[in-house]
Amino acid sequence: MQVRPRRNRRNTAIRGLIRETHLAAGHLVQPLFVQDGEALRTEIPSMPGQARLSIDLLIETAHEAHELGVAGVALFPALPDDEKDPRGSASTKPEGLLPRAIRALKARVPELLVITDVALDPYSSDGHDGVVIDGRIDNDETLPLLAAMALTQAEAGADIVAPSDMMDGRVGVIRSALDDAGYTEVGIGAYCAKYASAFYGPFRDALDSAPKAGDKKTYQMDPANAREALRELALDEEEGADWVMVKPGLPYLDVIALFRDSTALPVAAYHVSGEYAMLRAAAAQGWLDYESSLLESLTALRRAGADAIFSYGALDAARLLR
Ligand code: PBG
């Protein structure tokens, strides 16, 4: 045998020397759930280690994230049912929970990126990302609401708004609304290939935001499709997205790799709630090691081509990488 691949794996130094993919805290974004109140931490049973945090505790976690080198946080507000309505009107209140959280973060941890989600579901009494009219999710009725929501977030200080709603044309209307109001520096991180996935279950527990009727298959993508993601990519690029996301993460590595080869835009991946829950659940049984399976998952997302990764394990990974 002349050729022995194992020579390149002989020891730590050689493996480090030739490693193709690197994972650093700076590649990571920690999603966080925020709720009203003070000193309030409400654990999310289906996402062990994650909780809804009141703004004071959110700030503490944000400080820690920043100290660990995590690039940013992605915020999701948990509203009580009596603040939800069919048009998600709470999403444009300047004194609403999310704008208050954004302002507090930008005042206290200004260097940490604040990324906000643009979609109706946390605010909608129907639990859908768009407006429901006669049982259908109305695309064009939803667009101005999304633009107004993004504007409210930008006014509060969001660095990047991230439309996750999958309405057609939303990146364009949000870009125009931001530019018209002078927010030309606020970026759009488009959830570009967002699939109608069963892996979002624990997230919907966290926000109590599951659809009241039907499912999200008329707007989120069919898990069977990869070519269709290229149509979404072309549109989001044309409409001015600053980066494009694939979601979920590990079940869609092929789509991440396809995007990496098909666009010059940065590509993000979302290691979603169900992916996190699986690791935690198996670890709780003693069937998997959480720490190493988390780092392996995140490395695999990077290897497939993700520049940035949203993961509930971001803080944990950053601690391990230190
Ligand atoms: C809302 C939104 C969802 C997620 C992020 N933004 C849920 C959904 O579309 O139902 C899922 C995140 C996760 O599962 O971690 N539009």
Q: Whose CA is nearest to atom 10 of ligand 1?
A: 200
Report residue 191: phi and psi, to 5°: -75, 95
Domain presence at residue 315: yes
Domain presence at residue 105: yes
Domain presence at residue 16: no
Q: Which CATH number characterizes residue 297's domain?
A: 3.20.20.70
Q: Whose CA is nearest to atom 8 of ligand 1?
A: 200
Range of the domain at 161: 21-321
Domain presence at residue 187: yes
For residue 77, the cross-strand partners are 34
**Domains of the chain: total:** 1
Instruction: Assess whether the C-beta atom of 275 lies below 6 angstroms from ligand 1.
Output: no
Instruction: Assess whether the C-beta atom of 219 lies below 6 angstroms from ligand 1.
Output: no
Over residues 287-303, mean pLDDT: 98
Whether this model's pTM surpasses 0.75:
yes
List of E strands, 203-266: 243-247
By most ligand atoms within 8 Å of CB, the mutation choice from 272, 276, 279 for ligand 1 is 272
Per-residue pLDDT tens over the stretch 218-258: 999 999 999 999 999 999 999 999 999 999 999 999 999 99
Q: Which atom of ligand 1 is nearest to the CA of 122?
A: 1
Q: Which of 266, 264, 274 is nearest to 246 (CA)?
A: 266
Where does 250-322 have alpha helices with state H? 253-262, 273-284, 290-304, 314-321
In the Cβ-directed half-sphere of 297, how many Cα atoms lie within 13 Å? Answer: 32
Give the CA radius of gyration of the chain: 20
pLDDT of residue 131: 97
Domain presence at residue 11: no
Per-residue pLDDT tens over the stretch 70-104: 999 999 999 999 999 999 999 999 999 999 999 99
Domain presence at residue 1: no
What spacing in Å lies between the alpha carbon of 301 and ligand 1's midpoint?
Answer: 18
Q: Which atom of ligand 1 is nearest to the CA of 31?
A: 15
pLDDT of residue 309: 99
Domain presence at residue 3: no
Residues annotated as catalytic are: 194, 247
Q: Whose CA is nearest to atom 2 of ligand 1?
A: 164
Instruction: Assess whether the C-beta atom of 121 lies below 6 angstroms from ligand 1.
Output: yes
